[in-house]
Structure 1
Amino acid sequence: MTGALRATVGHRALVAYERPDGRYDRHYAHWGATDFALRHEIAAETPFADGNGKRNPNRWTPAIDPTPRGRALSFEDAATFDYRAYEAFYVVSLAWVVTAFLPLWFGTSTDDDPHAGVLVAVDSERDAERARRWFRATRAVVRDMVRRETLDEPEAHDYLDARVIEWTGGRREVVSVR
Protein backbone atom coordinates (compact mmCIF):
# COMPACT_ATOMS: atom_id res chain seq x y z
CA MET A 1 0.00 0.00 0.00
CA THR A 2 1.29 3.45 -0.75
CA GLY A 3 1.71 5.91 2.09
CA ALA A 4 -1.07 8.16 0.73
CA LEU A 5 -3.56 5.30 0.49
CA ARG A 6 -2.54 3.88 3.85
CA ALA A 7 -3.12 7.29 5.44
CA THR A 8 -6.71 7.41 4.20
CA VAL A 9 -7.74 3.89 5.23
CA GLY A 10 -6.12 3.92 8.66
CA HIS A 11 -4.25 1.19 10.42
CA ARG A 12 -7.26 -0.92 11.27
CA ALA A 13 -7.24 -3.41 14.10
CA LEU A 14 -9.62 -5.69 15.93
CA VAL A 15 -9.50 -6.20 19.69
CA ALA A 16 -10.92 -9.32 21.34
CA TYR A 17 -11.68 -8.97 25.04
CA GLU A 18 -11.98 -12.18 27.01
CA ARG A 19 -15.20 -12.53 28.99
CA PRO A 20 -15.67 -14.41 32.29
CA ASP A 21 -17.52 -17.15 30.36
CA GLY A 22 -14.43 -17.81 28.20
CA ARG A 23 -15.92 -16.20 25.12
CA TYR A 24 -14.84 -12.91 23.51
CA ASP A 25 -16.30 -9.55 22.55
CA ARG A 26 -14.65 -8.15 19.43
CA HIS A 27 -14.15 -4.40 18.97
CA TYR A 28 -12.78 -2.18 16.20
CA ALA A 29 -9.95 0.39 16.37
CA HIS A 30 -9.47 2.49 13.24
CA TRP A 31 -5.87 3.49 13.99
CA GLY A 32 -5.25 0.53 16.31
CA ALA A 33 -2.44 -1.06 14.32
CA THR A 34 -0.28 2.06 14.34
CA ASP A 35 3.05 0.91 15.78
CA PHE A 36 1.15 -1.81 17.68
CA ALA A 37 0.86 0.84 20.41
CA LEU A 38 -2.45 -0.48 21.79
CA ARG A 39 -0.44 -3.35 23.27
CA HIS A 40 0.77 -0.86 25.87
CA GLU A 41 -2.33 1.34 26.09
CA ILE A 42 -5.05 -1.16 26.95
CA ALA A 43 -5.33 -1.62 30.72
CA ALA A 44 -8.01 -2.00 33.40
CA GLU A 45 -7.90 1.77 33.89
CA THR A 46 -8.11 2.45 30.13
CA PRO A 47 -9.92 -0.55 28.63
CA PHE A 48 -10.54 1.23 25.30
CA ALA A 49 -7.24 3.13 25.39
CA ASP A 50 -6.99 6.88 24.99
CA GLY A 51 -7.58 8.09 21.46
CA ASN A 52 -6.87 11.71 22.37
CA GLY A 53 -3.32 11.64 23.50
CA LYS A 54 -2.73 15.31 24.32
CA ARG A 55 -4.90 16.63 21.48
CA ASN A 56 -8.04 17.42 23.45
CA PRO A 57 -7.74 16.96 27.21
CA ASN A 58 -11.30 18.29 27.75
CA ARG A 59 -13.06 15.55 25.80
CA TRP A 60 -12.12 11.88 26.02
CA THR A 61 -12.23 9.88 22.81
CA PRO A 62 -11.49 6.16 22.97
CA ALA A 63 -8.96 4.62 20.57
CA ILE A 64 -11.14 1.49 20.46
CA ASP A 65 -14.84 1.67 19.67
CA PRO A 66 -16.59 0.71 22.95
CA THR A 67 -19.49 -0.85 21.03
CA PRO A 68 -18.62 -4.47 20.21
CA ARG A 69 -18.79 -5.63 16.59
CA GLY A 70 -19.27 -9.18 17.84
CA ARG A 71 -20.42 -10.47 21.22
CA ALA A 72 -19.86 -13.76 23.02
CA LEU A 73 -17.72 -15.19 20.22
CA SER A 74 -15.62 -18.31 20.52
CA PHE A 75 -11.92 -17.55 20.16
CA GLU A 76 -11.98 -19.14 16.71
CA ASP A 77 -14.86 -16.88 15.64
CA ALA A 78 -13.21 -13.79 17.15
CA ALA A 79 -10.02 -14.59 15.21
CA THR A 80 -11.89 -15.16 11.93
CA PHE A 81 -12.11 -11.98 9.88
CA ASP A 82 -10.97 -10.57 6.55
CA TYR A 83 -7.19 -10.89 6.88
CA ARG A 84 -6.71 -8.49 3.98
CA ALA A 85 -8.48 -5.65 5.79
CA TYR A 86 -6.76 -5.53 9.19
CA GLU A 87 -3.17 -4.95 10.21
CA ALA A 88 -3.41 -6.03 13.84
CA PHE A 89 -5.43 -8.26 16.12
CA TYR A 90 -5.19 -7.91 19.89
CA VAL A 91 -6.35 -10.36 22.52
CA VAL A 92 -7.02 -8.98 26.02
CA SER A 93 -7.20 -11.54 28.82
CA LEU A 94 -9.32 -11.18 31.94
CA ALA A 95 -6.10 -10.21 33.77
CA TRP A 96 -5.55 -7.39 31.21
CA VAL A 97 -2.62 -9.11 29.53
CA VAL A 98 -2.60 -7.87 25.94
CA THR A 99 -1.16 -9.97 23.12
CA ALA A 100 -0.61 -8.31 19.76
CA PHE A 101 -0.90 -10.41 16.62
CA LEU A 102 0.00 -9.71 13.01
CA PRO A 103 -2.63 -11.15 10.62
CA LEU A 104 -1.00 -12.84 7.62
CA TRP A 105 -3.35 -13.65 4.75
CA PHE A 106 -2.69 -16.89 2.87
CA GLY A 107 -4.33 -15.71 -0.34
CA THR A 108 -2.51 -16.50 -3.54
CA SER A 109 -5.09 -14.76 -5.75
CA THR A 110 -7.68 -12.03 -5.28
CA ASP A 111 -10.42 -14.70 -5.36
CA ASP A 112 -8.95 -16.64 -2.45
CA ASP A 113 -10.69 -16.95 0.93
CA PRO A 114 -10.17 -13.64 2.83
CA HIS A 115 -10.46 -15.49 6.16
CA ALA A 116 -7.63 -17.95 5.50
CA GLY A 117 -4.50 -17.01 7.35
CA VAL A 118 -2.49 -17.09 10.48
CA LEU A 119 -1.98 -14.78 13.44
CA VAL A 120 1.61 -14.35 14.59
CA ALA A 121 2.36 -12.76 17.96
CA VAL A 122 4.60 -9.70 17.65
CA ASP A 123 6.14 -7.41 20.22
CA SER A 124 6.73 -4.26 18.18
CA GLU A 125 6.26 -2.63 14.78
CA ARG A 126 9.84 -3.56 13.93
CA ASP A 127 9.16 -7.19 14.80
CA ALA A 128 5.97 -7.09 12.71
CA GLU A 129 7.79 -5.59 9.72
CA ARG A 130 10.38 -8.36 9.84
CA ALA A 131 7.61 -10.99 9.91
CA ARG A 132 5.72 -9.23 7.06
CA ARG A 133 8.83 -9.12 4.89
CA TRP A 134 9.58 -12.82 5.42
CA PHE A 135 5.97 -13.82 4.83
CA ARG A 136 5.56 -11.75 1.65
CA ALA A 137 8.65 -13.36 0.14
CA THR A 138 7.49 -16.84 1.10
CA ARG A 139 3.95 -16.23 -0.19
CA ALA A 140 5.33 -14.88 -3.49
CA VAL A 141 7.08 -18.20 -4.11
CA VAL A 142 3.91 -20.09 -3.19
CA ARG A 143 1.86 -17.89 -5.56
CA ASP A 144 4.21 -18.86 -8.37
CA MET A 145 3.72 -22.53 -7.50
CA VAL A 146 -0.08 -22.08 -7.64
CA ARG A 147 0.10 -20.23 -10.98
CA ARG A 148 2.20 -23.08 -12.40
CA GLU A 149 -0.35 -25.54 -10.98
CA THR A 150 2.24 -27.25 -8.81
CA LEU A 151 0.00 -26.59 -5.80
CA ASP A 152 -3.72 -25.96 -5.50
CA GLU A 153 -5.13 -23.39 -3.05
CA PRO A 154 -5.69 -25.79 -0.11
CA GLU A 155 -2.19 -27.21 -0.52
CA ALA A 156 -0.78 -23.67 -0.68
CA HIS A 157 -2.56 -22.78 2.57
CA ASP A 158 -1.28 -25.93 4.29
CA TYR A 159 2.25 -25.19 3.09
CA LEU A 160 2.14 -21.55 4.25
CA ASP A 161 0.74 -22.58 7.62
CA ALA A 162 3.54 -25.12 8.10
CA ARG A 163 6.20 -22.63 6.96
CA VAL A 164 5.02 -19.95 9.41
CA ILE A 165 5.06 -22.42 12.29
CA GLU A 166 8.53 -23.59 11.27
CA TRP A 167 9.78 -20.01 10.87
CA THR A 168 8.62 -19.01 14.35
CA GLY A 169 10.30 -22.08 15.82
CA GLY A 170 8.04 -22.05 18.87
CA ARG A 171 9.48 -18.67 19.92
CA ARG A 172 6.14 -16.92 19.50
CA GLU A 173 2.47 -17.78 19.55
CA VAL A 174 0.88 -18.71 16.22
CA VAL A 175 -2.87 -19.10 15.68
CA SER A 176 -3.95 -20.77 12.43
CA VAL A 177 -7.35 -19.76 11.08
CA ARG A 178 -8.91 -21.49 8.09
Structure 2
Amino acid sequence: MGIASRNSLRDWLRAPGSLSRRLARLGERFEVQVLRQGVAPFRALERLALGLPPRGLTVVREVILRVDGEPLVWARSAVHQRATTGPWRALKGLGAKPLAHLLYDDYRIHRSELQPRRLARQGHTRRHAARQWQAAVGTPLPAQMQWSRNSVFSRSGAQLRVMELFAPGLAGQRPGRPRR
Protein backbone atom coordinates (compact mmCIF):
# COMPACT_ATOMS: atom_id res chain seq x y z
CA MET A 1 0.00 0.00 0.00
CA GLY A 2 1.58 3.21 -1.09
CA ILE A 3 0.91 6.89 -0.59
CA ALA A 4 -2.25 6.76 -2.74
CA SER A 5 -3.71 3.99 -0.57
CA ARG A 6 -2.89 5.85 2.63
CA ASN A 7 -4.49 8.97 1.21
CA SER A 8 -7.67 7.03 0.41
CA LEU A 9 -7.80 5.81 4.04
CA ARG A 10 -6.71 9.16 5.52
CA ASP A 11 -10.22 10.08 6.72
CA TRP A 12 -10.51 6.75 8.56
CA LEU A 13 -7.05 7.03 10.10
CA ARG A 14 -7.87 10.48 11.48
CA ALA A 15 -11.61 10.19 12.25
CA PRO A 16 -12.26 11.10 15.90
CA GLY A 17 -14.78 9.37 18.13
CA SER A 18 -16.06 5.85 17.84
CA LEU A 19 -14.91 3.79 14.85
CA SER A 20 -17.67 1.25 15.58
CA ARG A 21 -20.37 3.89 15.36
CA ARG A 22 -18.94 5.23 12.10
CA LEU A 23 -18.77 1.76 10.60
CA ALA A 24 -22.32 0.95 11.73
CA ARG A 25 -23.62 3.87 9.65
CA LEU A 26 -22.17 2.31 6.48
CA GLY A 27 -24.67 -0.53 6.28
CA GLU A 28 -27.58 -2.44 7.72
CA ARG A 29 -25.74 -4.75 10.14
CA PHE A 30 -22.63 -4.06 12.23
CA GLU A 31 -20.95 -6.98 14.02
CA VAL A 32 -18.01 -7.51 16.34
CA GLN A 33 -16.46 -10.93 15.81
CA VAL A 34 -14.34 -11.75 18.86
CA LEU A 35 -11.27 -13.71 17.80
CA ARG A 36 -9.50 -13.86 21.15
CA GLN A 37 -9.73 -12.41 24.61
CA GLY A 38 -7.28 -13.44 27.27
CA VAL A 39 -3.99 -12.93 29.00
CA ALA A 40 -0.80 -12.49 26.97
CA PRO A 41 2.75 -11.22 27.54
CA PHE A 42 3.44 -7.55 26.88
CA ARG A 43 4.39 -6.58 23.34
CA ALA A 44 7.05 -3.90 23.10
CA LEU A 45 4.88 -1.22 21.45
CA GLU A 46 2.01 -1.87 23.86
CA ARG A 47 4.35 -1.76 26.85
CA LEU A 48 5.79 1.57 25.70
CA ALA A 49 2.38 3.08 24.90
CA LEU A 50 0.99 2.02 28.27
CA GLY A 51 4.11 3.00 30.23
CA LEU A 52 4.47 -0.50 31.66
CA PRO A 53 7.49 -2.38 33.03
CA PRO A 54 9.52 -4.77 30.83
CA ARG A 55 7.74 -7.85 32.18
CA GLY A 56 4.17 -8.60 32.96
CA LEU A 57 0.88 -9.59 31.40
CA THR A 58 -1.79 -7.79 29.48
CA VAL A 59 -5.38 -8.66 28.80
CA VAL A 60 -5.77 -8.65 25.04
CA ARG A 61 -8.94 -8.54 22.96
CA GLU A 62 -8.70 -9.11 19.22
CA VAL A 63 -11.71 -8.68 16.94
CA ILE A 64 -12.84 -8.23 13.37
CA LEU A 65 -15.39 -5.49 12.75
CA ARG A 66 -17.86 -6.31 9.98
CA VAL A 67 -20.51 -4.37 8.13
CA ASP A 68 -23.17 -6.43 6.35
CA GLY A 69 -20.87 -9.44 6.71
CA GLU A 70 -17.85 -7.77 5.10
CA PRO A 71 -14.73 -7.71 7.30
CA LEU A 72 -13.39 -4.16 7.36
CA VAL A 73 -11.18 -3.80 10.46
CA TRP A 74 -8.96 -6.06 12.55
CA ALA A 75 -8.49 -4.54 16.00
CA ARG A 76 -6.46 -5.34 19.10
CA SER A 77 -6.87 -3.76 22.52
CA ALA A 78 -4.46 -4.30 25.40
CA VAL A 79 -4.56 -3.31 29.04
CA HIS A 80 -2.38 -4.24 32.01
CA GLN A 81 -3.88 -7.28 33.71
CA ARG A 82 -4.20 -5.45 37.06
CA ALA A 83 -6.40 -2.77 35.45
CA THR A 84 -9.09 -5.38 34.67
CA THR A 85 -9.86 -5.60 38.38
CA GLY A 86 -10.09 -1.81 38.58
CA PRO A 87 -10.97 0.88 36.03
CA TRP A 88 -11.18 -1.50 33.05
CA ARG A 89 -13.02 -4.42 34.73
CA ALA A 90 -16.00 -4.03 32.35
CA LEU A 91 -13.71 -5.22 29.54
CA LYS A 92 -14.04 -8.79 30.86
CA GLY A 93 -17.78 -8.96 30.22
CA LEU A 94 -17.85 -7.11 26.92
CA GLY A 95 -18.32 -10.17 24.72
CA ALA A 96 -19.36 -9.25 21.17
CA LYS A 97 -20.36 -5.70 22.11
CA PRO A 98 -18.20 -2.93 20.63
CA LEU A 99 -15.47 -1.52 22.85
CA ALA A 100 -17.04 1.88 22.07
CA HIS A 101 -19.75 1.09 24.66
CA LEU A 102 -17.06 1.43 27.33
CA LEU A 103 -14.96 4.19 25.83
CA TYR A 104 -17.30 6.91 24.68
CA ASP A 105 -20.09 6.90 27.24
CA ASP A 106 -17.89 7.70 30.26
CA TYR A 107 -16.71 11.31 30.71
CA ARG A 108 -13.81 10.06 32.89
CA ILE A 109 -12.14 8.41 29.90
CA HIS A 110 -9.70 10.46 27.85
CA ARG A 111 -8.16 9.48 24.51
CA SER A 112 -4.69 10.30 23.24
CA GLU A 113 -4.07 11.69 19.79
CA LEU A 114 -4.58 9.15 16.99
CA GLN A 115 -1.29 7.81 15.65
CA PRO A 116 -1.46 6.44 12.07
CA ARG A 117 1.14 3.77 11.43
CA ARG A 118 2.13 1.57 8.54
CA LEU A 119 2.75 -2.00 9.64
CA ALA A 120 5.86 -3.78 8.46
CA ARG A 121 4.87 -6.35 5.83
CA GLN A 122 6.67 -9.12 7.74
CA GLY A 123 6.26 -7.67 11.23
CA HIS A 124 4.86 -9.67 14.13
CA THR A 125 1.56 -7.76 14.36
CA ARG A 126 0.79 -8.10 10.66
CA ARG A 127 1.68 -11.82 10.63
CA HIS A 128 -0.51 -12.38 13.70
CA ALA A 129 -3.42 -10.43 12.17
CA ALA A 130 -2.99 -12.39 8.90
CA ARG A 131 -3.28 -15.75 10.71
CA GLN A 132 -6.41 -14.65 12.55
CA TRP A 133 -7.95 -13.06 9.45
CA GLN A 134 -7.39 -16.24 7.39
CA ALA A 135 -8.95 -18.42 10.11
CA ALA A 136 -11.96 -16.13 10.67
CA VAL A 137 -12.67 -14.91 7.15
CA GLY A 138 -11.42 -17.81 5.04
CA THR A 139 -9.34 -15.60 2.74
CA PRO A 140 -5.83 -14.17 3.12
CA LEU A 141 -5.34 -10.77 4.71
CA PRO A 142 -5.27 -8.33 1.75
CA ALA A 143 -1.73 -7.30 0.87
CA GLN A 144 -2.88 -3.66 0.88
CA MET A 145 -4.01 -3.98 4.51
CA GLN A 146 -1.05 -2.21 6.10
CA TRP A 147 -2.35 1.03 7.61
CA SER A 148 -3.42 1.18 11.22
CA ARG A 149 -4.13 3.76 13.85
CA ASN A 150 -3.24 3.55 17.50
CA SER A 151 -4.51 5.42 20.53
CA VAL A 152 -4.46 5.13 24.29
CA PHE A 153 -7.49 5.62 26.50
CA SER A 154 -6.95 6.64 30.13
CA ARG A 155 -9.30 6.17 33.05
CA SER A 156 -8.40 6.63 36.71
CA GLY A 157 -4.68 6.36 35.93
CA ALA A 158 -5.02 3.06 34.01
CA GLN A 159 -4.46 2.95 30.28
CA LEU A 160 -5.91 0.87 27.46
CA ARG A 161 -4.24 0.77 24.03
CA VAL A 162 -6.32 0.23 20.90
CA MET A 163 -4.87 -0.59 17.49
CA GLU A 164 -7.13 -0.74 14.42
CA LEU A 165 -5.95 -2.16 11.07
CA PHE A 166 -8.04 -1.09 8.06
CA ALA A 167 -9.09 -3.25 5.12
CA PRO A 168 -8.81 -1.77 1.63
CA GLY A 169 -12.63 -2.03 1.34
CA LEU A 170 -12.82 1.21 3.33
CA ALA A 171 -10.69 3.13 0.85
CA GLY A 172 -12.75 5.79 -0.82
CA GLN A 173 -15.58 5.50 1.73
CA ARG A 174 -16.24 8.52 3.90
CA PRO A 175 -16.39 7.65 7.63
CA GLY A 176 -19.99 7.42 8.72
CA ARG A 177 -21.58 7.92 5.30
CA PRO A 178 -23.72 5.10 3.85
CA ARG A 179 -22.21 3.15 0.97
CA ARG A 180 -23.45 3.95 -2.49
User: Which of the five TM-score ranges fits, normalised by the shorter chain?
Assistant: under 0.3
Larger relative contact order (Cα-Cα within 8 Å, sequence gap ≥ 6): 2
Structure with larger Rg: 1
Structure-2-length-normalised TM-score: 0.24
Structure-1-length-normalised TM-score: 0.24
Higher strand share: 2
